[in-house]
Amino acid sequence: MTPTAMEELRRRLAQVSDLDAAGSLLSWEQETMMPPEAARVRGLQLATLAGLAHELFTDARTGDLLDAARPADDTEEAIVRVARRDHGKATRLPTTFVEERTRAQNEAHHAWIEARTSSDFGAFAPHLSTMMDLARREADLLGYEDHPYDALLDTYEPGMRASQVRAVFDDLRDRTLPLLRRITAAGDAADYSVLTRSFPYDAQKAFAWDVAGRAFGLSGDFARQDESAHPFQSNFSRSDLRITTRVQDYWPTCCFGTWHETGHAMYERGVSERWERTPVSRGASLGVHESQSRMFENLLGRSLPFWERYFPELQKVAPKVTDGLDAAALYRAVNRVQPSLIRVEADEVTYNFHTLLRFELELGLLEGTLSVKELPEAWNAKMKEYLGLDVPDDAQGVLQDIHWSAGLIGYFPTYTLGNLLSVQLLEAAQRDPAVASGVANAEYGPLLAWLVTNVHQHGRSLTPGELTERATGRPLHADPYVAYLHTKYGDIYGLN
CB 276 within 8 A of CB 237: yes
Q: How many angstroms separate the CA atoms of 359 and 331, rounded?
A: 31
77 is catalytic: no
* Start-to-end CA span in the chain (Å): 72
Q: Tell me the β-bridge partners of 241.
A: 223, 235
**Catalytic site residue from 76, 99, 157, 261:** 261
Are 453 and 462 in contact by the 8 Å Cβ rule? The answer is no
Do 485 and 496 touch, CB atoms closer than 8 A?
no
Neighbours of 137 (CB within 10 A): 15
Per DSSP bridges, beta strands 240-245 and 233-237 are antiparallel
The DSSP string of 114-125 is: HHHHHT-HHHHH
Q: Coil, strand or helix: which one is 398?
A: coil
Cβ atoms of 363 and 163 closer than 8 Å: no
Task: List helix spans (H) across 190-303.
Answer: 201-216, 252-270, 286-294
Nearest CA among 224, 218, 176 for reference residue 484:
176
Alpha helices in 146-251 (DSSP H): 148-156, 162-186, 201-216
SS3 226: strand
Distance CA 247, CA 205 (A): 8
Ordered alpha helix ranges (H), 271-401: 286-294, 304-317, 319-322, 327-334, 351-367, 375-387
Alpha helices in 388-478, H assignment, sequence order: 413-429, 433-440, 445-454, 464-472
Q: Which residue numbers are catalytic?
A: 261
